Structure 1
């Protein structure tokens, strides 16, 4: 039970960081619409961009012109890892170092239980149920008594 509590706590902290960065106009890069929906359901709202809709070079260049805060949240499967590496190189060529640390932390928290961002909401709900926490409609965590 303590393992689940710790994992939930770590994910909640990470989500809170994402919310703050999104409020500071960071661009959150994901692979698809379902990733955006999952993050929205977890309370993360902001400027999302989908990396798989046009050429990577043009995609990164257009974001680099607009913003210096870039967070890459691709899946942690083979395709997502390659995409993250390629985008990191492109952004660095435009003088931007994207934040990939949040993605790495997320990967270490969920370990091998899920492999993509779109499964994150379901995973968090299961963790909350396993630890005796629930989520109210406004997204806040309430302890079940």
Structure 2
């Protein structure tokens, strides 16, 4: 299964999900469930959500969103100038953490998060009532610094 997320008709994300699960209870958007408890609340709003029981075609995405299901057009290049342009110093590299930022929530063994510009992996089940961040709880293993970009 390849769940996909479209925002205003443009593909914003996709994932590979091969394992099946027994979904019991009501379908919910904006939170997760761990050991029977509601967790992982979405910080923000959700408006006009549609969930399909089948892969949507480009035409269906266009119909639902009212926008063409195509990537955004490229940004035009600035005009070429013959006069020299003053240069500014290059921006300092910043950490480019690839995992979601840690927050107090439940995590499964093997889950990966970013915290204080480092990557972390859960060595065990982390329950939602654990308020200890990865750098102060032995249930997390440091995977090193986030790469610089």
Q: Which has the higher helix share?
A: 1
After TM superposition, the score normalised by the length of structure 2 is: 0.25
Q: Which has the higher strand share?
A: 2
After TM superposition, the score normalised by the length of structure 1 is: 0.25
Higher CA-based Rg: 2
Q: Which has the higher contact order (CA 8 A, sep 6+)?
A: 1
